Structure 1
Amino acid sequence: MLNISENKILDRSHFDHAESLTMTVATKQKKRRVRILFVSCCVVFLILFLPWTQYIRSKGYVTMLQPEHRAQTIHSVIAGRIEKWYINEGAFVSKGDTIVSISEIKDEYFDSLLLPRTQLQVQAKNLSALSYKEKVKALESQIEALKRNNILRKEQARNKLEMAELKVESDSIRFEQAKVNFEIGVKQLGRAEKLYEEGLRSLTDLETRRLKFQEVQASVISAENDLLSSRNSYISAVLELDAIDNDFRDKLSKAESDMFTAQSSQYDAEGSATKLENQYSNYEARTGFRHILAPQDGFIAEAIQVGLGETIKEGDQIVNIVPSNGELAVEMYVSPVDLPLMEVGKKVRFIFDGWPAIVFTGWPRISNGTFGGVIVAVDQFAGKSNQFRVLVAEDPEEEPWPSVLRVGSGADGIALLNDVPVWYEIWRQLNGFPADFYTRKEKEQIAKGEK
């Protein structure tokens, strides 16, 4: 009934006996329901225009932000046998604390005086190298002395050669003079014999002249002998000068050969000494490897090698240690379709295992029990599960993460994206479209470009 007229049938007659007519009469309760329905529709319509934060939800776990602060395994550098444990599982250790000591199992390291004896070998080799070095210096001095002596001997030989040349010249002049005297003597002897035959000279004068002629003849022979002797001396001086160079080259070659041999021995001794020093350093470092030390402050999580007397190899795992200091972070994994939405600096909300939370995913501001984070790194390649790892650190602008949070705890990550109306998000979900990739600034730039 429309109730248009002022004359109402209900005032004239009652519908007590007409159940169908009674049902058409509007009661106060029905009017209230209509109003509630109308208000609800209005509220729902208004809610459709409220801002909704798009998100990507992913599972992850708590880890350390810096790689050096993450849980690590301590290995044995050398092979050995476990002798003593100094800690228990779960104990706190400082950097440099001894965790376990091991003993040698290789026979070349059994000597208890290995380091002192190796040091003695190093000293002996160094002294040997020093001796060869001094020998090289002595040979160098000898070579320098040979060179100086050779200069003096050659100068002396040149002087002697020059003297021989002058003597040859002097003797040749005397020989020429003797020959002239001989020719004069022959002529004088001939005149004396002619005068004797003519009776102008006595026999005594002739004999005297013959004696003088014999003396002149003897002087010619003597001058010739002196000349030949001078020439022989000159030749000997020339040969002696050449012999000096030959003798110098022989002595120099022998001295240089000895010097090079000494240098070779010196270098060999120095190389052996260096090798022994390297070996000594290796032995000394190996001695330090017999004690497994804590690389940093942390807690012993698990002893992988147990017992006493157990033999281990090089590189075997000994214990697991969890560093005690470091900044916590969360490793979360996203699918490839969501990777373009992950950027360094974007906000992420977390729900940690063991901490109750009331979450309104689209309205993070009214959520309770969640903790804030900031993306600090995104992997450039997918892992074995075909998902990309995203590393999230604590947001300094948000409430700090729980102090009792431990590495390995589970975390439910909610990566916050753009703010869109609720109706847009419902429409996107119904159509299966991905989250909005563009930022608000990029949208405005795109809109300006289209205009």
Structure 2
Amino acid sequence: MLNISHNSISENVDLSKFKSGKKIFNIEYHKYFKRLLLVFSVLLLIILFLPWTQTISSKGNVTTLKPNQRPQTLQSQIPGRIEQWFVQEGDFVKKGDTILRISEIKSDYFDDKLTERTDDQINAKSASVNAYKSKVSALQNQINALKQERNLKLEQAKNKLIQARLKVKSDSIDLEAVKTKSNIAKTQFDRTVNLQKEGLKAVKDVEEYRNKFQEANAKLISQQNKLLVSKNNIINSELAISTINATYGDKIAKAQSNLYTAQSSALDTEAQVSKLEINLANYKKRSSLLYITAPQDGYINKAIKTGIGETFKEGEKLVGIMPANYELAVEMYVRPIDLPLIHIDESVRVQFDGWPAIVFSGWPNASYGTYGAKVVAIENFISDNGMYRVLIAPDKNSEPWPKALRVGSGAKTIALLEDVSIWFEVWRQINSFPPNFYQPKNKTNNKSKVSK
């Protein structure tokens, strides 16, 4: 039968005479087979020209559209110790509801009257500031008084100086008059002496004129002495002016030094008051932090720190909460080679884990159990897994997503690209070519509008 041997059985045996041979060789099966092949070829040729939607498949997770709607953990801004729980896991809480109460573990905040005592310190320091300001005002008045007194003293000393200078002029004039009288007396005395030698005057006359001459000399010496005293008074007046300036300058400088010291003390005390006010505000704010409250409406997922009396540091996770109101979305990851093919508002089909679906990748309209979505965000930096993150949201024009979906569940996404023929897609897949690169119509229209 296999024609392995050179001795052929078919030449010696007529197979058509046997029962099985009559059923095989007498019926024309090959005609039906040829017809079947012909019909199959025609159908295959028709199928090859049917439209096929190119897609990019990916896996992702259900998340929320806005960051504030995603599951979050609550932390404490201060270290503390858990004192009381007001909720349990699974409870619904509204914004502002108290979740747990904590207590201080730092010795600096153990005092129950810390804010009251800090307020008392602020009042005391404020009174000290007022006292320093009063002292500053008194010193300013003292300085003004010293300056006024110095001006009066200087005016008085200047008047004395003017008087002394006028007295010098008067004494100088008197001295010149006395000198003139002295010269006249000397001339008369010399004339009388000469006349007495000639016998024209008596000795008595000579003695009289000698007495007058001596009196004139005495007056001259006395007037010279007065002139020197007047000049000395000028020097004393000038010295008095200098002494007044020095004395009152020293007093004013001391008063100004005390003034600056008081002003510095006042400013330093004001700084201490400001620091105490900051501490008081911090203490009041810290007191409000002893109660952990819900930042928004949601459900308590998990108590990370459990029990009573457990201590924690600032920033440690205490409890997880899931917001009650959220808009679902799916984050999917695409390869870098497929990233240029993804655009904002691109249509995507999503299949969720746990929901039955029949998916035809190239015929999304014929698929069952998939839901419509639109691309809303594309990450510009590659993720740790070596792919780019794309965020998709429900398509408002498509069927709504299941209400029983939960954040974190898995999903499979199919990004819909260009429509091509099946033969082209087969040829692309055989050659491992990427999908066709194209630009959406709305994007090209926008570019044309910009160019115009």
Please tell me the TM-score bracket, short chain as reference. Answer: 0.7 to 0.9
Aligned position for 1:64: 64
Measured at CA, do residues 318 and 18 of structure 1 come closer, stay the same or move farther in structure 2, by a change above 3 Å?
A: closer
Q: CA deviation at 1:153?
A: 3.5
Q: CA deviation at 1:49?
A: 0.9
Distance 2:103 2:64 in 1: 35
Does the CA-based 8 Å contact 1:125-1:272 persist in structure 2? Answer: yes
Distance 1:213 1:380 in 2: 125
Does the CA-based 8 Å contact 1:418-1:439 persist in structure 2? Answer: no
1:167 pairs with 2:167: yes
> Which letter does structure 2 place at the counterpart of 1:178?
V
TM-superposition CA deviations, 1:97-140 (whole Å, max 9, x none): 11111111221111111001111112222232333233334333
Bigger shift: residues 210-219 or 297-306: 210-219
Measured at CA, do residues 227 and 21 of structure 1 come closer, stay the same or move farther in structure 2, by a change above 3 Å?
A: closer
Aligned position for 1:293: 293
Q: CA deviation at 1:36?
A: 6.0
SS at match of 2:372: strand
> How do 1:253-268 residues align onto structure 2 when only pairs under 5 Å count?
253-268=253-268
Measured at CA, do residues 217 and 109 of structure 1 come closer, stay the same or move farther in structure 2, by a change above 3 Å?
A: same
Q: Over aligned residues, Cα RMSD in angstroms?
A: 3.0
Aligned position for 1:364: 364
> Which letter does structure 2 place at the counterpart of 1:391?
L
Q: CA deviation at 1:266?
A: 1.9
TM-superposition CA deviations, 1:154-185 (whole Å, max 9, x none): 33333322221111011111122112222223
Distance 1:356 1:391 in 2: 23
Q: CA deviation at 1:34?
A: 6.3
Measured at CA, do residues 397 and 22 of structure 1 come closer, stay the same or move farther in structure 2, by a change above 3 Å?
A: closer
Measured at CA, do residues 371 and 22 of structure 1 come closer, stay the same or move farther in structure 2, by a change above 3 Å?
A: closer
1:219 pairs with 2:219: yes
> Which letter does structure 1 place at the counterpart of 2:91?
A
Distance 1:89 1:49 in 2: 58
Bigger shift: residues 156-165 or 416-425: 156-165
Aligned position for 1:143: 143
Distance 2:254 2:20 in 1: 148
TM-superposition CA deviations, 1:303-353 (whole Å, max 9, x none): 011111222222221101111223211111223332332222211110112
> Sequence identity, in percent?
49
Bigger shift: residues 71-80 or 395-404: 395-404
Aligned position for 2:13: none
Does the CA-based 8 Å contact 1:372-1:398 persist in structure 2? Answer: yes
Bigger shift: residues 374-383 or 182-191: 182-191
Consecutive unaligned residues in structure 2, runs of 5 or more: 1-16, 445-452
Distance 2:440 2:179 in 1: 133
Aligned position for 2:11: none
Q: CA deviation at 1:439?
A: 4.2
Q: CA deviation at 1:193?
A: 6.0
Measured at CA, do residues 243 and 21 of structure 1 come closer, stay the same or move farther in structure 2, by a change above 3 Å?
A: closer
> Which letter does structure 1 place at the counterpart of 2:177?
Q
Aligned position for 1:74: 74
SS at match of 2:348: strand
Distance 1:18 1:90 in 2: 76
Aligned position for 2:326: 326
Distance 1:151 1:43 in 2: 124
Does the CA-based 8 Å contact 1:418-1:440 persist in structure 2? Answer: no
TM-score by length of 1: 0.85
Does the CA-based 8 Å contact 1:98-1:291 persist in structure 2? Answer: yes
Does the CA-based 8 Å contact 2:192-2:201 persist in structure 1? Answer: no
Distance 2:184 2:28 in 1: 191
Distance 1:146 1:242 in 2: 16
Measured at CA, do residues 439 and 100 of structure 1 come closer, stay the same or move farther in structure 2, by a change above 3 Å?
A: same
Number of aligned positions between the proteins: 426
Q: CA deviation at 1:63?
A: 0.8
> Which letter does structure 2 place at the counterpart of 1:398?
S
Distance 1:151 1:400 in 2: 95
Aligned position for 2:336: 336
Distance 1:327 1:144 in 2: 75
Distance 1:21 1:245 in 2: 150
Measured at CA, do residues 156 and 83 of structure 1 come closer, stay the same or move farther in structure 2, by a change above 3 Å?
A: same
SS at match of 1:337: coil
Aligned position for 1:353: 353
Distance 1:298 1:25 in 2: 77
Does the CA-based 8 Å contact 2:350-2:373 persist in structure 1? Answer: yes
Aligned position for 2:373: 373
Consecutive unaligned residues in structure 1, runs of 5 or more: 1-14, 445-451
Aligned position for 1:131: 131
Does the CA-based 8 Å contact 2:372-2:399 persist in structure 1? Answer: yes
